[in-house]
DNA sequence: CCGTCTATGATTAGTCC
DNA sequence: GGGACTAATCATAGACG
């Protein structure tokens, strides 16, 4: 059959209304995000952890992590951070709480790194 | 002055050797990754947390989180996980540990994976 | 839901400031 | 380090199976 697609259209970055379309977009963008992350890992030897909660009723969880989500997250939440250069503008209060010892579970988190 | 750039060149996804180039690439890709994440949040109402550790000696930490890294990470590590659809292939052992009650809060966590 | 296709929008390597 | 630019590559909206 004749292809009728006129190619990609511009999409405004606002919450989508169409549910089924949104599901497709969510899948595609999630895959793209994880791919970008893995490229950044490979190209620059960075260590990345990503956790994604899908919206709506089917609140599924997807994750990407190199070397592992848990390891990186523990290091993030732990205390021996070499330096915090935080682009996250939303959780200053929570971070302050955490840093003051709220967690009380983190002990020594091995720091292993290098290439990949 | 006359622009001599011949535009973007194809880049193989392997670890970069040039350190200063890598620094630039790291910054650009990190910004792109966070932007993609925020778009996914807005478009689909997803909740995303990202933690990035920069490579090399200056092991800085960058994070993105909506609503917040801590909240999402706690939910990820915590108890009321609705479902785990994990794309992370590297941490089966750690996950198994966690799921077997190391943190003492996990009950039933579905494990399914594959793809990506 | 997943995979494929293609035109086109989005990202970015290389460059200069 | 950051910002701007351009041209090329890359990602993906929408349509279809």
For residue range A45-66, what is the model confidence (pLDDT) as tens digits?
999 999 999 988 888 999 999 8
Q: Which pLDDT value is given to residue A53?
A: 95
Q: Give yes or no for CB of B103 within 7 Å of strand C.
A: no
B69-77 vs A69-77: helix crossing angle, rounded to 10: 130
Q: Which pLDDT value is given to residue B56?
A: 81
Chain A residues whose beta carbon lies within 8 Å of the beta carbon of residue B43 = 11, 13-16, 22, 25-26, 29
Does the pLDDT at position A103 exceed 70? Answer: no
Query: Within 13 Å and on the Cβ side, how many CA atoms surround A82?
Result: 11
Rounded Cα distance, B56 and B19, in Å: 9
Rounded Cα distance, A83 and B57, in Å: 12
Tell how strand B84-85 and strand B111-112 pair up.
parallel
Band (pLDDT 50/70/90 cuts) for residue A87 is low
> Can you say whether the dihedral through the CA atoms of A5, A15, B33, A63 is positive or negative?
negative
Superfamily of domain A18-81: Transcription factor, MADS-box (3.40.1810.10)
Contact between chains at B75 and A53 (C-beta distance less than 8 A): yes
Q: Measured CA to C1', what is the nucleotide nearest A6?
A: C7
Mutate to test the interface with B, among A17, A23, A51 (most CBs of B within 10 A): A51
């Amino acid at each position: 059959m004749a292809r009728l697609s006129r190619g990609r259209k511009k999409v405004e970055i606002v919450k989508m209304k169409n549910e089924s379309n949104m599901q497709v977009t969510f899948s595609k963008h999630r895959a793209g995000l994880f791919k970008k992350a893995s490229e950044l890992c490979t190209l620059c030897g960075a260590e990345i952890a990503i956790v994604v909660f899908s919206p709506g009723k089917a609140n599924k969880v997807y994750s990407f992590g190199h070397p592992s989500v848990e390891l990186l997250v523990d290091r993030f939440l732990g205390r021996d951070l070499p330096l915090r250069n935080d682009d996250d503008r939303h959780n200053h209060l929570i971070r302050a709480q955490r840093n003051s010892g709220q967690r009380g579970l983190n002990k020594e988190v091995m720091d292993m790194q290098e290439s990949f």
